Amino acid sequence: MPGNRGVSYEGPGKVEVRETDYPGYELKDGPGVNPGNVGRKLPHAAILKAVATNICGSDQHMVRGRTTAPQGLILGHEITGEVVDTGPDVEFIKTGDLVSVPFNIACGRCRNCKEGKTGVCENVNPDRPGSAYGYVDMGGWVGGQAAYVLVPYADWNLLKFPDKERAMEKILDLAMLADIFPTGFHGCVSAGVKPGATVYIAGAGPVGLAAACSAYLLGAAVVIVGDLNKERLDQAHSFGCETVNVAMGEPKDQIEQILGEPEVDCAVDAVGFEARGHGHESEAERPATVLNTLMDVTRAGGALGIPGLYVTGDPGAADEAARHGSLSIRIGLGWAKSHSLVTGQCPVMRYNRQLMMAILHDRVQIAKAVNATPISLDDAPRGYHEFDEGAARKYVLDPHGMLASR
């Protein structure tokens, strides 16, 4: 049995790569593991050798100390891997398969899974519906920023790439299927993006860039991306987006300069609860700013996709209400404009196969759009630091050197 190493959260602002247990077919006690999951038998699981495992902005929220994540939690929910072993109940997935792992952990058996709502599976987290690998309050499933990782309900959860060699040729693009590409796409679908639409996307991090790429894939006529970070805005501009620097003032005024009118058809929040203000307030945290801005700039009858993360507990929040996830949202404005809002985890399995086909048949270059950058597992602390500093990159960990060799 090979050894295993993973990226561990060691407290606010600190991660380190350390030795960790090789996966087995029983969920053991450990940092963040829900007591109701300890001892859970997993004959339906598969063990993967991680080919690519990405650093996500959601991970960064934990590393900044903005959640109740426990020290020692192995991080990572954006996993692409090669199957090296399967449990006795796995029927269709085989050793040697190259697969994408949806970040949502889903049983495939409950009412929500059967309705396609895999982001809120009822059977994998004893506390509440919804689960993910290596994430706080998500049941305690061990994260995949590691050499090896266990995936439960393998026949249901894993998306097998149809041609292994062809997939390895596009592996950086396919690595985005675990989370950010479906998440950005879901934000756009939820917002009603369609051919000819004008779209405003708040946030030029990897999810925002993935949403912008998705908007074009869906046929949008104009995609406008707003952010404070010039390097990230330049990355959005590199594949045809219009950009708005919200540090320069309200997005509405800049949108009017671009479109000739101050409103768009559709809007996507790819920022979440650590949002900052606009204009002279851009240095201050204003967690409701993005949501209120989207209602302001979206036309009456339009819709908002909200894949950006919002939490029920934020120990680093600026005020007591925000510490419990209560924000000063202008719901009256949204009501008056008859807006539709869709929130929550993206149900990755609803989109990942279609997006895989778009990648394999050269309809989209998602890795280029998000500036996917492979680094070694040992370089994970550097990747986290640079990402936190605002690097316009999507860092992809390469635990076995399989990306560097391509």
For residue 292, the one-letter residue type is N
d(CA 11, CA 93): 37
Within-domain flag for 405: no
CATH value at residue 188: 3.40.50.720
Q: Give the per-residue pLDDT at 283.
A: 77
Instruction: Identify whether the C-beta of residue 211 lies closer than 8 Å to the C-beta of residue 236.
Output: no
Q: Give the per-residue pLDDT at 406.
A: 63
Q: Give the per-residue pLDDT at 186.
A: 98
- Taking only the tens place, the pLDDT of each residue in 93-125 is 999 999 999 999 999 999 999 999 999 999 999
Q: Over the chain, what HEC string results?
A: CCCEEEEEECCCCCEEEEEECCCCCEECCCCCCCHHHCCEECCCCEEEEEEEEECCHHHHHHHCCCCCCCCCCECCCEEEEEEEEECCCCCCCCCCCEEEECCECCCCCCHHHHCCCHHHCCCCCCCCCCCECCCCCCCCCCCCCECEEEECCHHHHCEECCCHHHHHHCHHHHHHHHCHHHHHHHHHHHCCCCCCCEEEEECCCHHHHHHHHHHHHCCCCEEEEEECCHHHHHHHHCCCCEEEEHHHCCHHHHHHHHHCCCCEEEEEECCCCCCECCHHHCCCECCCHHHHHHHHHEEEEEEEEECCCCCCCCCCCCCHHHHCCCCCCCHHHHHHCCCEEEECCCCHHHCHHHHHHHHHCCCCCHHHHCCEEEEEHHHHHHHHHHHHCCCCCEEEEECCCCCCCC
d(CA 276, CA 246): 9
Q: Which residues of the chain have pLDDT under 50?
A: none
Write b or e for each residue in 155-173: b if 16 or more Cβ atoms lie within 10 A of its Cβ, otherwise e: ebbbbbbeeeeebbebbbb
Looking at the fold, whether 328 and 351 belong to one and the same domain comes out as no
Last residue of a domain, one of 326, 343, 360: 343
Q: Give the per-residue pLDDT at 280.
A: 76
CATH value at residue 386: 3.90.180.10
For residue 47, the one-letter residue type is I
Within-domain flag for 406: no
**What's the pTM?**
0.96
Count of domains for the chain: 2
Looking at the fold, whether 28 and 124 belong to one and the same domain comes out as yes
Looking at the fold, whether 337 and 351 belong to one and the same domain comes out as no
Within-domain flag for 198: yes
Within-domain flag for 55: yes
Domain of 93? 4-179+347-398
Interior angle at CA 218, CA 214 and CA 221, nearest 5: 100
Looking at the fold, whether 264 and 170 belong to one and the same domain comes out as no
Q: Give the per-residue pLDDT at 405.
A: 65
Q: Counting Cβ atoms within 10 Å, is residue 316 exposed (0-12), middle (13-18) or buried (19+)?
A: middle
Q: Give the per-residue pLDDT at 47.
A: 98
Looking at the fold, whether 101 and 188 belong to one and the same domain comes out as no
Q: Give the per-residue pLDDT at 276.
A: 82
Within-domain flag for 111: yes
Q: Give the per-residue pLDDT at 191.
A: 98
Q: Give the per-residue pLDDT at 391.
A: 95
Looking at the fold, whether 100 and 117 belong to one and the same domain comes out as yes
